Amino acid sequence: MNVEITATPFDPWDRVREHQSHSLGRDGKYGATTVFVGTMRDFNEGDEVRRMTLEHYPGMTERQLEGICDEALKRWDILDVLVVHRVGDVAPDDTIVLVAVWASHRAAAYEASRFVIEYLKSRAPFWKKERLEAGDRWVGTNTPG
């Protein structure tokens, strides 16, 4: 399992390849990999969003994400989980989050991946401030799945 919070832009596909080759190798144990990539969109609640700032509580956020990944590893027959989440200033089309899950079979990979991303969207300690033409606003709730 690997959880990373980064203020630096990242390529999700490079991260999946790197993690897979370094942490899982080529031993034939996994038959399924699910990958969720979340990007910043340029609209929310009917308004154009120009930029966004993502804040987190260092240390606590990583511990909570590691805890949810541990929970996924206990609940489903999966081999590994990778979570990378961006903080700081982001622009439309920037990658914000990557969740990748490896398993022997697709059902476990899908279910565990959804479990992790739904936690991230609903309970992880991240705060979002959107930059609109009319000024800034804090996002109170995330859009439903």
Q: What architecture (CATH level 2) is domain 2-25+35-138?
A: Alpha-Beta Complex (3.90)
Indicate the domain borders of the chain.
Answer: 2-25+35-138
pLDDT range class, residue 23, cuts 50, 70, 90: confident
Residue 94 and residue 19: Cα distance in Å, rounded? 21
Residue 140 has pLDDT above 90, yes or no: no
Residue 137 has a pLDDT of 93
pLDDT digits (tens, 9 = 90+) for 27-78: 778 899 999 999 999 999 999 999 999 999 999 999 999 999 999 999 999 9
Residue 11 has a pLDDT of 98
